[in-house]
Structure 1
């Protein structure tokens, strides 16, 4: 096992926003015989609607109770075959600026949807929870769950292999911002949180039922074929430092609307990471 280098300062891109100043003008009330109109209630947000419906049995829970409730909720899903994953990823990971392309997870490169395959510069189906960690392969279930399957450059996917996630290593020339050593892989900053939330989704969704292993994160690397992946402490930090962005939220919605009809709860409620794994 190679030694990990010290943690580098966070390298998130700077975001700019236009600030709009609002000037409050006090209103003046006048006596009148006409009754004041009844105010129209503001429409409920999409998140409030989800909490009232999809997540209603999880709201207010923490720890094992929250994890159990979420498992029951997200286990109600449509399962895809491994062949169906190809077309699903072309929709879930579509480049918002070029509908003919997908965005590759580790490189961030926009690449034609038609270049999927096994060639060195093609894109393929990366199991973010490495399929050897629990020996589920490409079986329908964890092996085809598109909440953790993403398009990646073939050779970069090969470099990641089945390594656990952690900070450290040497930077990949083919994928700047990604680092690896003998036993771990560190993705680029823009998708660190995505990776963490995919791993934690898998730990809640697959708990030993359906003939598959009970998948759990732990705080170590070099887990081999055990149904475990790490490091949990690093994944929690990544999720906190890289909150869900528009691309990740859209992806979650497309999976829910068009394919599996279940959600990754840690995209909708990132705070649940800390509520379950304290």
Structure 2
């Protein structure tokens, strides 16, 4: 009980710090009434620890199962609705007219979304070919792992697994790639890892979608796996959740899908499960 109280105090302090950092950031809020996400109002309220009541006292596979049940209660977006959602979730804290591109770190106008050179598009961090779920409503439209990214950089990442190493490239922001893997820039390594862990818990093969799992290899192809587990765990430790990532989690919960990424709220659960 003492550990729980201390954790809650730390989470409260972190939330207050986040609120200070983000003071003055205007976020158009939405009320999700259908799969097309109708925009109406706006706020980010954070979360109440009661959201995770079903996971209390659990670890390992039991914790994973409990979190799956909790986060599977969500509103699903259409793929077209993802465009507008990303303009809010990925908004540049310093310029409300722009989004921050995940791998590049570039701030780009929200209006430049599309498929041409110089545009940004919808990057599936868990590559949609890994499980062959495409862009259908479900894992293909889950904005907990969909991010704004430069069209060309998105193509360079392709469907590669994540691992250390490789060479830099234009507009990569410090990201690296080789023939079978991709390493994101340091500032978002943990973000990427936590998105992968979220997907592995949310999609367990029980609702018509593939059973997504993290494994210890690269070159997973069309199998419903994503690697490399040991590297993703290291990135999660090296790059803990920051204000941008926490705000994003709140916006998705409050205004779009109404579910959360538990590994942003409780980073310690990664080690408990994997």
| Segments ≥4 residues shifted beyond 2 Å | 44-52
More helix by share: 2
Q: Which has the larger radius of gyration?
A: 1
Structure 2 gap ranges (5+): 1-7, 13-45
Map 1:70-149 onto structure 2 (within 5 A): 70-149=67-146
Could you report, residue by residue, the CA deviation over 1:84-135 in whole angstroms, capped at 9, with x for unpaired residues?
0000000000011111100000111111000000011100000000000000
8 Å Cα contact 1:51-1:59 kept in structure 2? no
Paired residue for 1:262, among 259, 263, 267? 259
Shift of 1:212: 1.0
What is the deviation of 1:208? 0.2
1:171 is the counterpart of 2:168: yes
- The correspondence for 1:61, drawn from 42, 58, 63, is 58
Alpha-carbon distance between aligned partners in 1 of 2:173 and 2:254, rounded to the nearest angstrom: 34
Compared with structure 1, are the counterparts of its residues 100 and 51 closer, same or farther at alpha carbon in structure 2 (3 Å cutoff)? closer
Partner of 1:226: 223
Deviation, 1:173, is 2.6
Give the alignment's TM-score, normalised by structure 1: 0.82
How many residue pairs align between the two structures? 234
TM-score by length of 2: 0.83
2:194 pairs with 1:192: no
**What SS does the corresponding residue of 2:55 show, helix, strand or coil?**
coil
Match of 2:236 in 1: 239
Gapped regions of structure 1 (runs ≥ 5): 1-43
- Alignment RMSD: 1.4
